[in-house]
Amino acid sequence: MAEIRVQEGPFDLGHEINRFEAALSGAGAVVSFTGLVRDEGGRLQAMEIEHYPGMTERAVAAIAGEAERRWRLAGCLVIHRHGRLGPGERIMMVATAAPHRADAFAAAEFLMDYLKSRAPFWKKEHGASGETWVAARDADEEALRRW
């Protein structure tokens, strides 16, 4: 059963990975991915992340459930933040654990591709020249086709 957290505050990556590993049994591989706010060459002042409370948790749980059906996983963790974040701050993380690394890598990539365009989050960049909603890219939609 995947652990899913949608939260405003920061998280401690080392603590989360240690906790995740400690709870595993039968795992030989752990893969983790962390997404950070890019500073865009110093132009970005803040990133604001809006989400759809209720639907977000359901959508992320459905994506994680699909990963657990497709690969033999010993554990799956997703943390995604919302609210106002500064450059360099962690936005989100996924961690997957499996008996062997191939399943852990594949499941982590699958989770990232689906979180990008199927979980109800929207990013707005605040910079010196104003505010801009980040547009979805065609490449994000393309990325889903390989699964």
Q: Which residue ranges make up the site for another protein (CB under 8 A)?
A: 35, 50, 52, 54-55, 58-59, 80, 91-92, 112, 115-124, 133-136, 140
Q: How far is the CB of 130 from another protein (least distance, A)?
A: 13
Contact 63, 6 (CB under 8 A): no
Give the DSSP per-residue string, 83-126.
EEE-TT-EEEEEEEEESSHHHHHHHHHHHHHHHHHHS-EEEEEE
CB of 122 to another protein, least distance (A): 4
| Length of the chain (residues) | 147
Question: Judged by CB, which is closer to another protein: 10, or 28?
Answer: 10
Nearer to another protein, 25 or 146 (CB): 146
Instruction: Select 99 or 117, whichever has its Cβ closest to another protein.
Output: 117
User: How many Cβ atoms are within 10 Å of 56's Cβ, its own excluded?
Assistant: 17
Nearer to another protein, 18 or 132 (CB): 132
Q: Where are the beta strands (DSSP E) in the chain?
A: 3-7, 29-36, 44-51, 75-81, 83-85, 90-98, 121-127, 130-133
Residue 125: CB minimum distance to another protein, A: 11
Phi, psi of 81 (to 5 degrees): -95, 160
Find the shortest distance in angstroms from Cβ 65 to another protein. Answer: 14
